[in-house]
Chain A
Amino acid sequence: MIRQTPHLTRRAFGSLLGASAATIAAPGLLRAQTAGRLVIVGGGFGGASAARFAAINYPEVAVTLIEPQTSFVTCPYGNLILGGKRVLADITHSYDGLRARGVEVIHDRVAEIDAAGHAVALAGGGTLDYDKLILSPGIALRWDAIEGYGPEAAEVFPHAWIGGDGSQITTLRARLEAMPEGGVFAMSIPDNPFRCPPGPYERLSMVAHYLKQANPTAKILAFDAKEGFSKQGLFEDAWAELYGDMIEWVPASADGRIVRVDAARGLFVSEFGEEHRVDAGNVIPPQYAAAIAREAGLANDAGWVPVDPATFEALAARDVHVIGDANVAGPMPKSGYIANSTAKTAVVAALAEVTGRPAWDDPVYFNTCYSHVGQDYGVSVVAIFRPSGDSFAAVPDSGGLSPRGPLAELGRNRRLEARHADAWYDSITADMFS
């Protein structure tokens, strides 16, 4: 049941930041958040969704969100910056909406989780007690996985796979713009599992969309550590139809696995030693759960966090629920929509015990991933999942891909899905931040 933990350390810390004054200045927030404390770590698709949902539906619970960035740059729609359809401000979101709902937002990093003691220590000093912890820390990049690819090389060959302060995606756009006429854009794509399975291929599409106009003799080389990919048929149809032979996808079996990069010399080097000259490079390295989840001892040997499929409680720690890309949730994809969908289940499960309100006994998880592959050309994959034993399973005979076929026949469908994708972006970011 509820732990009557005195929040003395939190209060002391909050007053240092002036949080007490802010609360007093906003009378609408003065409600009885006395049932317990929910601390959420990470303010992305999982964490922001959880914070907003908890604040709306559990006003008796104090909700604290810890996120280092003062605004959130989404990975989804970042590819549209490369395509010239969006600018950074379009995909940057403020935490003010969550504050207005009574969420205490602290811009700091969690240095340590004391699961036994129900407390987190902040890098900036101070600790926060919690009754329930929701961890949505996202991914970390495995800097050791591709020789020569570390934070410095990422300034030359951006990954643009973590939103951060937005500089990775805008740097990649600048590299594209600086390509010589007829130059080579190359991408290194990791093996499964990784964040946003269709993301690399949407990115290739948006790069082609840009280059077709700005640099039509340029070449795009997509080096993949896999033999196949999400929505492959739909992407390959669109690439052939829209971009001719501009995009060449190289699977692992055709020596597509990149094992070394040389940023100074502008080289991607394959598993079998072939050196590829690259004018603009994008390395999407292998990934694992963000450091805080691994350092807290929550992850498996592969670096991802096993969870209970009905509650998202980490198998390794009571009262710590792990959502978003950091957990093990296959066959569910590491997507923003799944993070949003599962965030709500985690909140209901975590707060049932704290508040005495009902759990959700038969949760359903929902995913749609749209991809823009050209002007007014969207495709999607849909899936509905449920807990199944100690894992998850897609509902049989449901979900699936957009229909395949020539653009001449499916133009209306593609156009509508592109518009629906835009609506999805606006809806889901409202569900996180408004």
Chain B
Amino acid sequence: MTRPTIPAALAAALLGVTGAGAAEPNGPLLAQACAGCHGQSGAGEGSVPDIRGYQPDDFVQVWEEFRQGNRPATIMGRIARGYTEAEVAALAAYFAAQE
């Protein structure tokens, strides 16, 4: 699977002028959906946790546990199965870069 290597570059790729290819999922745009519950930049809102600043590997591991049903969840288990590994890696890179 694709590993995020340079989160800053990916973060800069949001709607960037350099034009990311179609091969790389667009983490910042994918992450827009998360803001509907997790707040702006994933900062958390009420009962929904802050997901900023995770190490990408940890983020991917937690996501995988949700996907496999190995982690207690209300709705994240159902969400996790909807995204590809490459997309999860892009999300991981995006949220790792948020402060």
Contacts and interface: CB of A to CB of B under 8 A. Distances in A.
Interface of A: 53, 57-58, 337, 340-341, 344-345, 348, 356-358, 360-366, 368, 380, 382-384, 395, 397-400, 402, 413, 416-417, 419-420, 422-424, 426-428, 430-431, 434
B29 A348 contact: yes
Contacts of B15: 57-58, 348, 357-358
26 contacts: A57-B14, A344-B29, A344-B32, A356-B17, A357-B15, A357-B16, A358-B20, A362-B22, A366-B33, A382-B78, A383-B82, A398-B78, A398-B79, A398-B81, A399-B79, A399-B81, A413-B74, A416-B47, A419-B47, A422-B46, A422-B47, A423-B39, A423-B46, A423-B48, A426-B45, A430-B40
Given A417-B74, A430-B40, A423 B29 contact: no
Contact of A368 (B75, B81, B87): B75
B75 A382 contact: yes
A348 to B, nearest CB: 7
Contact of B37 (A53, A358, A395, A427): A427
Contacts of A358: 15-16, 19-20
Given A382-B75, A413-B74, A431 B29 contact: no
B30 A416 contact: no
Interface in B30-69: 30, 32-33, 35-40, 45-48
B83 A397 contact: no
B27 to A, nearest CB: 11
Contacts of B14: 57
A364 B13 CA distance: 17
Nearest to B28: A57
Contacts of B32: 53, 341, 344
B82 A399 contact: yes
Interface of B: 14-17, 19-20, 22, 25-26, 29-30, 32-33, 35-40, 45-48, 74-75, 78-83, 87
A364 B19 contact: no
A363 B20 CA distance: 14
B47 A361 contact: no
A19 to B, nearest CB: 27
A424 B36 contact: yes
Which of B26, B32, B35, B83 has the most A CB atoms < 10 Å from its CB? B32
The 3 A-B residue pairs with the shortest CB-CB distance in the complex, in nearest-first order: A384-B82, A398-B82, A423-B46
A368 B38 CA distance: 13
Which of A364, A380, A419, A431 has the most B CB atoms < 10 Å from its CB? A364
Contacts of A413: 74
Nearest to B35: A431
Contacts of B33: 341, 364-366
A156 B15 CA distance: 50
A357 B30 CA distance: 17
